[in-house]
Copies of this chain bind each other. A is one copy, B any other.
Amino acid sequence: METPAPTTRFADPPAGTPRRPGGRSARVRRRVLDTVITLLVERGYDALTVDAVAERSGVHRTTVYRRWRDVGGLLADVLAEATGDDWQPRDTGSLRGDLEAINQEVHEALTAEPPLTGALIAASFRSPPAAAALRAFWADRYERCAVVVARAVARGEAPAGTDARALLVAATAPVYHELLLLRSGADLTVAAQAARTAAVAARAGAFVTA
C-alpha cells in the first residue's frame, strides 16, 4: 500500500547532471572522465567501451550506463569540460599569417596520434550528445577566431562587411576535407594553400554578404 517504486530513475536530466552533485557523485565523475582520457590516449578509440571505462575506473558498469548512456555521452562530457579553456588565435601581423597559424593547429589536431579529434568526430556521427558538444566547441572556436578578421579589416586586408564566419570556414574547411574525408596523405602545404586562397578571396571581397 505504498507508492509504487519508479521504474526509471534519472528521468529529467539525461546525463551528467545529478541532483546531488556533491562528494560521491563528483568523485565518480572525476574518476570516469579521467579514465576516458587515459584509455583514449593509451589504447585509442576502438578500445573505448563503456565496460572498459567502468572496469578501469572502478565505477560500476550500470552507473556509467545510467549517467552517460554510451561512449558518445562520455566523450561529450569530456569535450564540454575542455571547451572552457583560454585558447586564442595567434596574431602574426597579417591575415594570411593568422589563417595559416590557425590551419596549422587544425592540421595538428587532425593528424595527432592518437587521433583524439578523429575519435570525437566519429562518435558525433553516432551520438547526438557528442554531436552537440562538438558543435558547441566549434562554434566557440570560430567565434574566438573572428578577431582575426576584425584585425584584417582594420589593416585594410579585407573590405568592411566581410563575413568572418564564411571567411574562416573557407580557410579551414579544405584542411578538414582533405584529412578527414578524402584522407589524402596531405601535408602542411594544404593548410598553407587554403589559408592563402582564403586571404586572396577576402581581399577581392568574396566574403562581403550584403
- Identify the A interface with B (CB < 8 A): 118, 121-122, 125-126, 131, 134-135, 138-139, 166, 169-170, 172-174, 176-178, 180-183, 193-194, 196-198, 200-201, 203-207
Interchain CA distance A197-B166 in the complex, whole Å? 10
Residue of chain B at shortest CB distance from A186: B169
Q: Is the CB of B173 within 8 A of A193?
A: no
Interchain CA distance A134-B184 in the complex, whole Å? 12
Nearest CB in chain B: distance from A103 CB, A: 12
Nearest CB in chain B: distance from A130 CB, A: 12
Q: Taking the full assembly, how many copies of this chain does it contain? A: 2
Q: Is the CB of A196 within 8 A of B200?
A: no
Q: With contacts A122-B126, A204-B201, A206-B196 known, is A177 near B182, CB below 8 A?
A: no
Q: In the complex, which residues of chain B have a beta carbon less than 8 angstroms from the beta carbon of A170?
A: 170, 174, 194, 197
Interchain CA distance A177-B201 in the complex, whole Å? 18
Residue of chain B at shortest CB distance from A139: B182
Q: Is the CB of B182 within 8 A of A174?
A: no
Starting from the known contacts A169-B178, A173-B177, A197-B207, 9 additional A-B residue pairs (CB-CB under 8 Å) come to A118-B125, A122-B126, A125-B125, A138-B181, A169-B177, A172-B177, A200-B201, A200-B206, A203-B204
Q: Is the CB of A121 within 8 A of B131?
A: no
Residue of chain B at shortest CB distance from A142: B182
Residue of chain B at shortest CB distance from A174: B173
Q: With contacts A200-B204, A201-B200 known, is A174 near B169, CB below 8 A?
A: yes
Nearest CB in chain B: distance from A158 CB, A: 13
